[in-house]
Structure 1
Amino acid sequence: MKSNIGGIDRFLRIVLGLLLIGLTLGGQIGAWGWIGVVPLATGLVKWCPLYLPFGWSTTCKRQ
């Protein structure tokens, strides 16, 4: 499993995931906030399965 999530993408996914989970636990939003587990998990493992079919990658390409 090759990494396809770069630094900024990873940071934003982790922050968004934690924010959604925190708001859900705090009772600010409904159960749909548990969807935050998805961006959190993909940010932590640095791999997104939805990028594969499109050939996308946000990692830095070194020359």
Structure 2
Amino acid sequence: MKENVGNTDMAIRIIVGIVLLAFAVIEPAANWWGWIGLIPLVTGIFRRCPAYYLIGTDTCGTAKQG
């Protein structure tokens, strides 16, 4: 699996993931929403998004043209 998450996309995913995880710690009643933050955090850190493979998207600019 090659990288398909670009720099801006990666930064947004990591920030959103951290915010959601912090929300899970701060607001225990909404705990399960915060754990969803693991998905963008992990995909941002590893720069690989399985959903992007399924739809053929690449935000890091390495996709073949033509």
1:3-34, CA deviations, whole angstroms, 9 ceiling, x for partnerless residues? 00000000000000000000110117602211
Match of 1:11 in 2: 11
Match of 1:46 in 2: 47
**SS at structure 1 position matched to 2:45:** helix
Q: Percent identity?
A: 38
Q: How many residues align?
A: 62
Return structure 1 stretches of 4+ with deviation > 4 angstroms.
Answer: none
Gaps of 5+ in 2: none
Q: Tell me which protein shows more helix as a share of its residues.
A: 2
TM-score normalised according to structure 1 size? 0.88
What's the C-alpha RMSD, in Å, of the aligned pairs?
1.8
